[in-house]
Structure 1
Amino acid sequence: MKSTIYAALLCGAAFAVSSCNKHIYVPNQVNVPLLKEKYEFKGSVTPSNLQAAFAITDHIAVMANGQYLWGFSYADPGNNFRDDDGILHDNNTRGGLVEGAVGFFQPIGSAKKAVFDVYAGYGSGHFKTLTGEYKSDNAVLNDYVIQNRFSKVFVQPSFGFVHRVVEAAFSSRFSFINFYDSNIGMKAFENQATEQSKYMKIYDKSVVFYEPAFTVRVGYKYVKFQAQLQFSTALNRNSFYNNNTYDYNNSFNEYFQPVNFNMGVAVDLAKWYNHVRR
């Protein structure tokens, strides 16, 4: 099972480099608080994510996350389509999400240098994306836009090492996404009726994503540099397209960004820094 999941992640990443993407879902950064004590607060900010977590007891915490992608701009219709999309970014998708969660955390060992936590939460969002056919200065942008709304339920266990100078963690997030309220521009699937029909199957049922992430923070005490590498793959993509003559893996993944890399700043307000030994 694990080998199948990681193979899907690698295949999705490789396909993303060479394809013209129409991303209707870009996973947000995984919030990995690694809290240790009551009343500890940890927040982070990146160019596209704002996240926070607060421990209300010695083992229970709440978190809130926000994401926004700037994507294309209506103010510059002649230049807002760029076909240099790569594995880590998408210039032609705009939107984001908000979500909240409640979780349990447990420091491990007498020195409490390791932390296990698990969060469960709910969110909702909206994305719009330009299809690859939009390349003309005279084209009407809205005719080539695909947009949708979605709701999200997620479960996220993490395990990490926490020190005053460095933190490192691995997280496994499982996200259950329900897409709805689709709006397709009149030319987004022009002369592609079959492709449009297959795309609409995404709205037939929940899509389950496995979204593992590796997070590293380096700094001193209260402020650290943060970087996160995240993967995302749809676990039930095969159930949508069962025609053996159709490359459902590539077509399905075309609408979901398979890899994210985020860098930013993390802030941790905690009393334990004043008591830990060097």
Structure 2
Amino acid sequence: MVVTTTATTDKPTVSIPAGRVLILLDGSRLSLAALEAAAEIASARNAEVLGIFVEELNLLRTAGYGFAREVGGSSGLARPLEATVLQARMQALAEQARRSLQHAMARRGLVQTLKLCRGRVAEEVLNLMQPEDLVVLGRVGWSGIPGTRLGSTARALLRQAPGDVLLWAEPRPRRQNRVVVLLNHDQGANHRALRVGAELARRSNQPLSVLLRTSPEDDPSVAEDMLTFLQREGLAARVRRIPVASAGAAVRAMQEEGAAQLVVSRTCSLFADQGAEVLLSELNLPITVTP
């Protein structure tokens, strides 16, 4: 079942909590792309920006062992992993992160701070994050190849973050043009995901699709209520009921919708049976997970 509205308005009414935008920086190309995405979001929200650079404690400890080796990314040659060399490398990456953050935010007139931490990356981010915040990160430990696994930091943040988490990916140039929100039927956390999806659709000037995973006995008025909310927001949108099935079926439905961005609530049952791993491995697009 598909319920559709095509109303539009020039008056944005979506209310997103006034929190900070946190960006996790590690010096990689993808984290710099995520930085630009975070800057655009912060500019639209007029939000404070906190950059986070973490010196990974376990890696530093590993460098203290004489048998530790690192393998060159281009040469494939193994060489000793020396603590002094690793520390110097991390300091250089931290300085690069500081310059990149300052440059990206100065162009937009945004307030920004860089927090340097030492510890386990996910723990440090969780200690800094508040429920109203959004954290943006590239797919740490992610190759972008279908079938690969999500990095441990991203998995921990998806499971535990008190606020929204945006996993940034550079979408392939295809005929993707919709923001898609994936929800379970009648979940209390759906409203936050729906508001985030509406904000994304408005900011990117894209239509919005809501995929509502339902059983035949579920009340159809839930889909109608969602449509009413979107109509009040003046968005070009549709609500589509899909059966509660496998993660693969949900992925196919998103591909049919031409998803360019995805919003999914953590309460979605896909996360309960490790379906999220399948979901993420099949898609190459920015994904926002709400609590």
Would the TM-score normalized by the shorter structure come out above 0.5? no
Q: Give TM-score scaled by structure 2 length.
A: 0.28
Higher relative contact order (CA 8 A, sep 6+): 2
Higher strand share: 1
Higher helix share: 2
Q: Give TM-score scaled by structure 1 length.
A: 0.28
